[in-house]
Chain A
C-alpha cells in the first residue's frame, strides 16, 4: 500500500501535488471555455442564423485529436501546461455553447415579453432574467465539460510529463509498477465524481426557485420520486 502512493521522483510532485496540478489543468480550460461560450452563445441567440455554423465549427474542433493539436501548438507554446489546456478549452465549447443557447432559449416568451414591457433594456434583461433562468442548463453543460476535461488532461503526458495524474500511467509502464496505473485511474475517477458533486451543490444553492424534487427544501409527494425499480422496468420495456 505504501508503494501505491510512492510517486517516482521524475514527476517532481507528491500525490497531492499531482492532484492540484491535475485540477488546475482540467478546470482552467473549462473556465476559459465558459468565458468564451457566454458571448458566443448570446450571439447565437440574437442572430439565429449564426447558431448552425457555430455548432458545426465547435463539433469539427472536437473531432480533432488532441495529439494533432499538440503538434501544431508546440511550436508556439512549447511543452507547457498551456499546450494541454488550449485544446481542452476548445473541446469544452462543443458542450457549453449549446447548453447556454438552449438554456437562454428556454426562458418562456411571456417572461421575456413581460420583462421588455416593464422597461428592461436588452443588457439588463440578459443579465437579470435570461442568464439566471439559464443557470440550470449552463451547469448541466459545465458538469459534462468538467468531467470530460478531468479525464482528458492525462494525454498531456505525451508532451513531456504535462499530464498530471496521467503521468503515472507512463511511469507505471517504464518502472513496471502497475499500482501506479491503478492510482492514476482511481484518483482521476474520484476527482471527476467530486467535481461533479460540487457543481450539483452549486446549482442547488443558485436555484432555490427550481421545482424539481429531491432538494429537501420542500417535501415532495412520494409519487414524484421514481421507484428504484422504475428505470429498470423502463429498460425492459424498450
Chain B
C-alpha cells in the first residue's frame, strides 16, 4: 500500500549512518568542478535521494561511492572504512547498481543476467540460477521469462531485471542512477511502488539519483537537493523540504504546488466524518426528512451495500423513487485512514458539492466531510508538523 497515489507517505525509520561522504570534491583535469566540498551522512536501511538539475554532480557523487569515479579531495567511508582503501572489484560486488535503461547484457538470458554477480563471487551455476529465479519472483517477473533475451522484454520488465540483478548477491547497499527515468509515467509509478515494497521487505541502504523532485519526495527517507556546480543546497526529510525550503533555489526546484504536495505526508485519519447526510437508496420519507435536518446542504445516496451512488439536494429526494441517474456525481472517494489529506482535499475539490466521500477498504461509505472541515484539519496538521519536524531534525543529527 505504501506509496500508492493517495496514501500517506510514511515517515520511514532511520537507523545509523552507513555511508559518510566527507567534504568530497571532484575536479576534472580541464578545471570543471563536478562536486564541490560535499558532505552527506547517508542513513542505514533507508532511501536517500540525490536530486537536482542536470550537471549538479549527483551521478558523479553516486559513482564516487563505488569508485567508478575517484574523488579529488575528501573521503567516503562505508561502514566506517575508507572506500579507497578497499579492493575495487570486491567493493563494487558488495553494492548493487541499477542504471538508466537497465544496461542489461543483451547477449545473456534474463536468468544469466540476474546471476551475474553471484557467478563473479564464485557461486556454482546451480545455486546462482536458483537465486536468480527467487529474485525474479521478488521483483514481479514471471518465471517464464527466465530463458528470454533482453530484447524480448518491455522497458519496464528490463528495469525489473536490472533491480533483480542488483539484488542478486544480497548487497547491503544499492546504488540507483536515474533507474526509472526512461520508462513511461504509468510504468514508472509501478516501479516506484514496487521499489518501496521491496525496500519494506529487505531494508537496504539505497542511494537513489533522480532529476525528478516528485520521485525524490515519494521515495526518499532523506532528500539531498544539489545545485549546479556540485554543491549541496539542502539535506532533509521530504516533508521538511516541502515545509521549509532552505533557500530560493530549493523553493524554485520544488515547484509551485509544494503546499499541496506536502499534504501527502498528513494522514486523513484525523478527519471528523459526518454520517448524518448519508441515506440508503431505499430510505423512507421519514428517514430522508430526519437527514434533512442534519445541516448538510446535500445528501449522499448509497446503494444497498453502502457504496456511494451520488449527491442530491434533500428536497429533490422522493422516498421509493430515487433515480441514481438523476443524482449529482460523487467524484472519486478517498479511503479514510489510509489515504492522505491530499487525497481527501482532491476529492472535495473535484466533487460538485464541495464535499468529499470517505469509504473503507471495501468501498463502502464511512462518512462525508466538507472542504471547510478538511481545511481545518490541514491547519491542525501544519501546527503539529512544525513540532514534529523540529523533533525529526534533532533525531537525524
A interface residue numbers (CB < 8 A to B): 108, 110-121, 129, 132-133, 135, 207-211, 218
Contact = CB atoms under 8 A, between A and B. Distances in A.
Contacts of A211: 151-152
A204 to B, nearest CB: 14
Given A121-B89, A209-B108, A114 B103 contact: yes
Contact of A118 (B101, B106, B116): B116
A124 to B, nearest CB: 8
A118 B97 contact: yes
Interface in B147-165: 149-152, 162, 165
Contact of A119 (B90, B99, B109): B90
A111 B106 contact: yes
24 contacts: A108-B101, A110-B99, A110-B103, A111-B106, A113-B103, A114-B104, A115-B105, A117-B66, A117-B92, A117-B99, A118-B92, A118-B165, A119-B88, A119-B93, A119-B117, A120-B89, A121-B89, A132-B107, A133-B107, A207-B107, A209-B106, A209-B108, A211-B152, A218-B152
Nearest to B101: A110
B122 to A, nearest CB: 12
Interface in B51-85: 66, 68
Interface residues of B, number: 31
B263 interface: no
Nearest to A131: B107
Nearest to A132: B107
B204 to A, nearest CB: 16
Given A114-B97, A119-B93, A119-B117, A209 B103 contact: no
B120 A119 contact: yes
A223 B228 CA distance: 47
Contact of A111 (B92, B103, B152): B103
Query: Which 4 residue pairs spanning A and B have beta carbons closest together?
Result: A110-B103, A114-B103, A117-B97, A119-B93
Contact of A113 (B99, B104, B109, B165): B99
B98 to A, nearest CB: 8
A24 to B, nearest CB: 32
B99 A116 contact: no
Which residue, of B90, B97, B100, B162, has the highest number of chain A Cβ atoms within 10 A?
B97
Given A113-B68, A113-B103, 17 more contacts: A110-B101, A111-B106, A112-B103, A114-B103, A114-B104, A117-B92, A117-B99, A118-B116, A119-B89, A119-B90, A119-B92, A121-B89, A129-B105, A129-B107, A135-B107, A208-B149, A209-B106
B213 interface: no
Contacts of B175: 117
Contacts of B99: 110, 113-114, 117
A27 B101 CA distance: 40
B378 interface: no
Contact of B107 (A110, A113, A209): A209
Nearest to B120: A119
B47 interface: no
A110 B106 contact: no
Q: Give the secondary structure class of B's interface.
A: mixed
A115 B68 CA distance: 11
Nearest to A210: B151
Interface in B125-174: 149-152, 162, 165
Nearest to B162: A114
Contacts of A120: 89, 120
Contact of B68 (A116, A121, A218): A116
B103 A108 contact: yes
B102 interface: yes
Contacts of A218: 152
Contacts of A115: 103, 105
A117 B68 contact: yes
A133 B175 CA distance: 25
A60 to B, nearest CB: 34
B145 to A, nearest CB: 14
Which residue, of A129, A208, A209, has the highest number of chain B Cβ atoms within 10 A?
A209
Contacts of A135: 107
Nearest to B106: A209
B93 A118 contact: yes
A160 to B, nearest CB: 47
Contacts of A208: 149
Nearest to A117: B97
A132 B105 CA distance: 10
Nearest to A136: B107
Contacts of A108: 101, 103
A133 B106 contact: yes
A209 B90 CA distance: 29
A118 to B, nearest CB: 5
Nearest to A129: B105
A232 to B, nearest CB: 30
B259 to A, nearest CB: 37
Given A110-B101, A209-B151, A118 B117 contact: yes
A161 B107 CA distance: 46
B108 to A, nearest CB: 7
Nearest to B108: A209
A26 B365 CA distance: 83
B116 to A, nearest CB: 6
A110 B66 contact: no
